[in-house]
Chains A and B, each alone.
Chain A
Amino acid sequence: MDEYETLKWGEVMSDHLQYLEEKRKIDSYFEKGYQIVSIFENLSGTFVDFVTSNDSGEREIVQLQLLTAESRKYIASKLIIN
């Protein structure tokens, strides 16, 4: 909640815009060749760990926290598509 305290009413990002941002990040990681290595879910949402290997073979792991329901659907749908 802290991050919203400085915002005025009406300035909080809509669920839809937040989803679009999360979707953009998901798509971006896939486009860059990242693969999902783990997913865990808890009270704070869904956490997706993406991994990729750089030219020297070192693994790079990034974690994405999905806050919106649409994103939680989207990430699982991508698993079906892929």
Chain B
Amino acid sequence: MADLRISFAGIKSPNPFWLASAPPTNSGYQVQRAFEAGWGGAVWKTLGEPIINTTSRFAALSFNGQRVAGFNNIELITDRPLEVNLKEIYETKKRFPNHAIIASLMVEPKQEKWHEIVKRVEDVGVDGLELNFGCPHGMAERGMGAASGQVPELVEKQTYWVKEVAKTPVIVKLTPNITDITITAEAAVQGGADAISMINTINSLMGVDLDTWNTIPHVAGKGAHGGYCGPAVKPIALNMVGECARNPLIDVPISGIGGISNWQDAVEFILMGATGVQVCTAAMHHGFSIVEDMLDGLNNYLDSKGIASIMDIVGKAVPKYSDWGDLDLNYKVVARINNDVCINCNKCHISCEDTSHQCIDMLKNENGEPYLKVREEDCVGCNLCAIVCPVEGAINMVELKQPLPKMTWNERQSNIARFKIDKVAK
């Protein structure tokens, strides 16, 4: 039985699975039920001046039969008075002293506002604070959330204000609605953040109704952009976590958020530098009990690899994440079709012929039966055929050992630089 406990910027949690600040953590009733189900921590739905929400609020993208491949919301922060939330946080912490309760906070970018809410929230015994600089809709129009999180100076300054009074670890939650998230992550570190979390939701419009021409969702015939999350955003979030994890100037722990739906997703984020993960959409889709499979799966994974503690794998894949210019140009893989498994649907041939490098031939054997074969010398190893193939194991990407030495683009440019001269085209 592996040790699933984590210490995240000093915050202790019985396991790395936290509920993200969102509808699942709106009340003490919900958070306590989540802890009973097995969640290790919860980031309380963002506290601030109580707001007024609209109906409707959510929309989801179903793709080829998968429900909730992506999820969009225009819900704002808590609509309940601070005192009500604080009372429930206090009661929840009292009942679950070993679970992590983090208060997500959002106020106007004013020093006195931050000081006031930090003091009041810490008085009820939270384990940490998460500054919501990421919520992209509604609150951003009022200068908070993503509007703050897109300006590095505001991220740094507000983090600094919080650190002036905070006694618990301060996590800065970052918006992905920015060109380079490492810039705002560095600003958070400069401001004194003890940790960062990412990603908040991505600006989105889920759709337009073809009959009514209303947006999806709409509020009495009008719509506004929302925040996109769920499985579809996982690759975006994973990259942002990786980019921050490998940046030496961002030397604080990372809480990974974005489309994490199972233990495998969680392991990927942890390997890529997250010390723990936060989950929302999967819990909204399937309920709190999904954490049972996450715990079992993670435990079995670690046991199968002989790893004693989840903390032992944090960031292990980060050294493998690099820049394009550092990839080996002389590494070569090609597609190889297993004709014992192939069903001759020809999808690989079509995709290669139409949109890649025309290297899969449709042939016939001595009995006149069709089969597909890759001309390996023309294959560029793009993976497209294996991606579109509907049969597991029918196409394998195999490495061809090359006689040439490892050479990256950066090494190539360095090598030819001594011979390089400036000339215009002849």
A residues near B425, Cβ cutoff 8 Å:
42-44
CB proximity to B under 8 Å, residues A29-82 = 36-44, 47, 73-77, 79-81
A27 at interface by CB-CB < 8 Å: no
B412 at interface by CB-CB < 8 Å: yes
Verify B416–A39 contact, CB threshold 8 A.
yes
Chain A residue at smallest Cβ distance from B405: A80
B422 at interface by CB-CB < 8 Å: yes
How many residues belonging to A are interface residues under a CB distance threshold of 8 Å? Answer: 21
Verify A80–B378 contact, CB threshold 8 A.
no
Cα distance, A44 to B424, chains bound together (Å): 10
A14 at interface by CB-CB < 8 Å: yes
Verify B419–A39 contact, CB threshold 8 A.
yes
Verify B420–A74 contact, CB threshold 8 A.
no
CB proximity to A under 8 Å, residues B355-396 = 357, 375, 377-378
Verify B415–A40 contact, CB threshold 8 A.
no
CB B200 to nearest CB in A, in angstroms, measures 40
Cα distance, A16 to B377, chains bound together (Å): 6
A residues near B377, Cβ cutoff 8 Å:
16
B421 at interface by CB-CB < 8 Å: yes
Verify A77–B405 contact, CB threshold 8 A.
yes
Verify B423–A76 contact, CB threshold 8 A.
no
Chain B residue at smallest Cβ distance from A76: B412
A residues near B378, Cβ cutoff 8 Å:
14-16
Q: A73-B330, A77-B330 are in contact. Are A40 and B422 (CB under 8 A)?
A: yes
Over the window 405-422 of chain B, the binary record of Cβ atoms lying under 8 Å from chain A Cβ atoms (1 yes, 0 no) is 101000110011001111
B404 at interface by CB-CB < 8 Å: yes
A residues near B357, Cβ cutoff 8 Å:
15
Verify A76–B415 contact, CB threshold 8 A.
yes
Verify A40–B405 contact, CB threshold 8 A.
no
B329 at interface by CB-CB < 8 Å: yes
B222 at interface by CB-CB < 8 Å: no
Q: A15-B378, A16-B377, A16-B378 are in contact. Are A76 and B422 (CB under 8 A)?
A: no
B401 at interface by CB-CB < 8 Å: no
Cα distance, A1 to B426, chains bound together (Å): 16
B residues near A39, Cβ cutoff 8 Å:
416, 419-421
B residues near A41, Cβ cutoff 8 Å:
420
Q: Of B405, B411, B423, which one neighbours A47 at CB under 8 angstroms?
A: B423
Chain A residue at smallest Cβ distance from B417: A39
Q: A15-B378, A16-B378, A80-B405 are in contact. Are A73 and B421 (CB under 8 A)?
A: no
Cα distance, A69 to B377, chains bound together (Å): 13
Cα distance, A44 to B419, chains bound together (Å): 18
Verify B405–A73 contact, CB threshold 8 A.
no
CB A40 to nearest CB in B, in angstroms, measures 5
A residues near B404, Cβ cutoff 8 Å:
73-74, 77, 81
Verify B424–A79 contact, CB threshold 8 A.
no
Over the window 37-51 of chain B, the binary record of Cβ atoms lying under 8 Å from chain A Cβ atoms (1 yes, 0 no) is 000000000000000
Verify A76–B416 contact, CB threshold 8 A.
yes
Chain A residue at smallest Cβ distance from B420: A39
CB B181 to nearest CB in A, in angstroms, measures 32
CB B12 to nearest CB in A, in angstroms, measures 51
Q: Of A14, A37, A42, A73, which one neighbours B423 at CB under 8 angstroms?
A: A42
Chain B residue at smallest Cβ distance from A78: B404
Q: Of B329, B375, B412, B419, which one neighbours A38 at CB under 8 angstroms?
A: B419
Verify B423–A40 contact, CB threshold 8 A.
yes
A residues near B424, Cβ cutoff 8 Å:
42
Cα distance, A42 to B421, chains bound together (Å): 11
A residues near B419, Cβ cutoff 8 Å:
36-39, 79
Over the window 327-340 of chain B, the binary record of Cβ atoms lying under 8 Å from chain A Cβ atoms (1 yes, 0 no) is 00110000000000
A residues near B (Cβ < 8 Å) are 14-16, 36-44, 47, 73-77, 79-81
Q: What are the 3 closest A-B residue pairs judged by CB atoms, nearest first?
A: A76-B412, A39-B419, A77-B404
Given A38-B421, A39-B416, 5 additional A-B pairs, CB 8 A:
A39-B419, A40-B420, A41-B420, A73-B412, A76-B412
